[in-house]
Amino acid sequence: MQSKQPILQLTHVSKVFGGSRALRDVAFELTRGEVHCIAGENGSGKSTLIKIITGVYTPEPGAEIVFEGRRFDSLTPVTARQLGVQVIWQDLALFPEMTVAENIAFEMNLSRRPRWVRYDTMRAQAQETLQRLGFALDLDKPLRDLTIAQRQIVAICRALVAEAKIVFMDEPTASLTQTETTALMDVVRRLSEQDIAVVFVSHRLAEVLEISERVTVLRDGLRVGVFPTGEMTQTRLTELMTGKTINHEVRAQDRSDAPVVLEVRGLSRDAEYEDVSFEIRRGEILGITGLLGAGRTELASTLFGLTQPDSGAIRLDGRALALRSNQQAIEAGIAYVSEDRLALGLIQRQAIADNIAITVLDELEERLRLLSGKRKSNLVQDWISRLSIKVDKAEDAVSTLSGGNQQRVVLAKWLATNPKVLILDSPTVGVDVGARAGIFEIVRGLAESGMAILMISDEIPETYYNADRILHMRGGRIVGSYAPVAADIADIELAVNA
């Protein structure tokens, strides 16, 4: 790192919102072609720092920003883009109805004066940029038809068209499978080889240590320090981010004597999963892991009544189920926390209270089918208290909460239905390490109370340390079964990634 030339240096950066200080005298340095990570819990100041660098926020007086030797007190979004600073936010900020070529070459058409759109030039520019990264996409395909991983590539290509010198990636792997994540890591390395600096923000600490050369750790608006990742471990990084030690230990328990709650036998659905059989007992956490195309989420959709199997049987408390809708699943006692919290788990613009109560509106009715405000308020406050959801007012939009607290709201929404079976599909996507530990404490508590839990995750450590049993899916089939108390995590990772 000493031989590389700094492209960006910030000193004495502070930011105050109302009476709250989001950043306090923070320094940050980035060298040309470096892959650098910013790590910290939600609320640590990561997003605020990025928005100051990109000109969205103005720092408090006294800050100094040096970009390639040029000094600034602050930047504007226009200035930052002209300097070559690009951000790929978690929601990607692309246009779903436009084609791949139009999205990649979008900035070619930005001008103070109207002008004709040159589609041949746009296509040529898009094709050249894709080839630069070693990818091939249908240029005429609408963005809405692409996978999340392919959209990530489009967003990166758009940054390259804008002649990016620094690319910030905010939680780029939050919605990606392990296979897609590996491919994205290769893209990040290619950008670095082309002398483009990449700032990687992720709650997945293994990725932070794998991809970056240095990591800047923020906590409560302060810079804890800058550390070479070659000398860092996940445990030490967690301690730096949270200020406390989080124990990683196997918590599996033997539930073989408990009664079976959910039984699946020979379940098959064409092109999705085949001959799947398992059971979950009372108080048990069953983990399912596997790579892209394993059929995990497709299986969960069937168990929640969103799709129907071609063959096989599902039994709940010994009674056969023939679910034709998610409403029937809810009525039977099955709840489902989907992997896409932003699109499927929450109504972002609605109040926290509305999101919690939405699954049990019928139970909150009084005479004339009018909603009882008192019952709703009592329900909401009860779950906010029980799950320790950090809110200012229950009437605030759920989008104002951190990722960890949003996930607790999703849990509250489904726990309000008093389910017998809780399906958790990638429950910690976009949730920081401290909040993850809190969520798993809640999950373990639910199991202790007798709930049967199916936990799906492509992060093997999550299932290893928090599930009682682990099933490995590949190509739609169950191909392995492990007891964490008897198996080594390295052996499971080797089998899954083989």
Query: Does residue 459 lie in a domain region?
Result: yes
Query: Does residue 141 lie in a domain region?
Result: yes
| Domain limits for position 162 | 6-242
pTM of the full structure: 0.68
Same domain, yes or no, for 138 and 265? Answer: no
Residue 376 predicted with pLDDT over 80: yes
Same domain, yes or no, for 215 and 311? Answer: no
Q: Sorting pLDDT into bands at 50, 70 and 90, what band is 403?
A: confident
Residue 142 predicted with pLDDT over 70: yes
Q: State whether the Cα torsion 463-464-466-468 is positive or negative.
A: positive
Residue 464 predicted with pLDDT over 50: yes
C-alpha of 485 from chain center:
28
| Residues 7 and 143 sit within 8 Å (Cβ to Cβ) | no
Same domain, yes or no, for 196 and 331? Answer: no
Same domain, yes or no, for 235 and 320? Answer: no
Same domain, yes or no, for 357 and 411? Answer: yes
Same domain, yes or no, for 174 and 290? Answer: no
pLDDT at 147: 83
| Residues 191 and 152 sit within 8 Å (Cβ to Cβ) | no
Residue 178 predicted with pLDDT over 70: no
Which residue among 209, 242, 275 closes a domain? 242
Query: Does residue 457 lie in a domain region?
Result: yes
Max Cα distance, the chain (Å) = 75
pLDDT tens figures, 262-311: 999 999 999 999 999 999 999 999 999 987 678 999 999 999 999 999 99
Query: Does residue 253 lie in a domain region?
Result: no
Report the distance separating Cα 277 and Cα 291, nearest Å: 19
Same domain, yes or no, for 323 and 377? Answer: yes
Report the distance separating Cα 372 and Cα 369, nearest Å: 9
Query: Could you tell me the CATH number of the domain that includes residue 368?
Result: 3.40.50.300
Which residue among 187, 207, 242 closes a domain? 242
Same domain, yes or no, for 323 and 174? Answer: no
Query: Does residue 1 lie in a domain region?
Result: no
- Comparing CA positions, the residue from 431, 243, 400, 252 lying closest to residue 337 is 431
pLDDT at 172: 82
Percent of the chain whose pLDDT exceeds 90: 55
pLDDT at 1: 47
Same domain, yes or no, for 69 and 207? Answer: yes
Query: Does residue 249 lie in a domain region?
Result: no
pLDDT tens figures, 55-64: 999 999 999 9
- Which residues 6+ apart lie within 8 Å of 68 measured at CB? 7, 8, 83
- For the chain, how many residues are written? 498
Query: Does residue 251 lie in a domain region?
Result: no
Same domain, yes or no, for 230 and 282? Answer: no
Same domain, yes or no, for 223 and 327? Answer: no
Same domain, yes or no, for 122 and 27? Answer: yes
pLDDT tens figures, 203-229: 778 888 889 999 999 998 999 999 999
How large is the average pLDDT for residues 182-188?
86
pLDDT at 53: 96
- Comparing CA positions, the residue from 434, 441, 336 lying closest to residue 387 is 441
Domain count, the chain: 2
Q: How far is CA 414 from CA 336, 418, 430, 455, in A?
A: 7, 7, 19, 15
Report the distance separating Cα 295 and Cα 255, nearest Å: 26
Residue 387 predicted with pLDDT over 70: yes
Residue 66 predicted with pLDDT over 90: yes
Report the distance separating Cα 287 and Cα 462, nearest Å: 9
Query: Does residue 187 lie in a domain region?
Result: yes
Residue 454 predicted with pLDDT over 60: yes
Q: Sorting pLDDT into bands at 50, 70 and 90, what band is 417?
A: very high
pLDDT at 175: 65
Tokens of 241: 């981010």
